[in-house]
Structure 1
Amino acid sequence: MRASIEVETLLKIILALVVVWLALQIVEATLGILGFLLGPLSNVFGLVIIIVIILWWFDYI
């Protein structure tokens, strides 16, 4: 039995995380100082996306 979350919901979550990740990259590129402060957060969002995919793959969500 697969996890209780549906694929469409998971895809929406991943899409939202990717949008936030891209927004942080744009902010980093356009505003040097603010991008420097928010830079580490973009790596965290990438890690969160990978974790969500792995958890879904192993039926934990």
Structure 2
Amino acid sequence: MSKKDFESLLSQHETLEKEESINWEQRKQEWLGFINKFYSCLENWFKAYKKSEKLSYEYDHVFN
């Protein structure tokens, strides 16, 4: 493998790494959105039980 070929290989690898980088903050926000939607569904399902005082629940913040 020539020096030029090796440099080309390194350049391709660098480009792939940049393209494959993961935006962890975006992923976190997406998952938090999914969790909030899930809790909204639960609250909707439990609404009648909570209103009739057959069920109670509360939330505790764990993550910021």
Q: State the TM bucket, normalised to the shorter chain.
A: 0.3 to 0.5
Structure ID, larger Rg = 2
Q: TM-score, normalised by structure 1?
A: 0.43
The higher-RCO structure (CA 8 Å, 6+ apart) is: 1
Q: TM-score, normalised by structure 2?
A: 0.42
**Structure with the higher helix share, 1 or 2:** 1
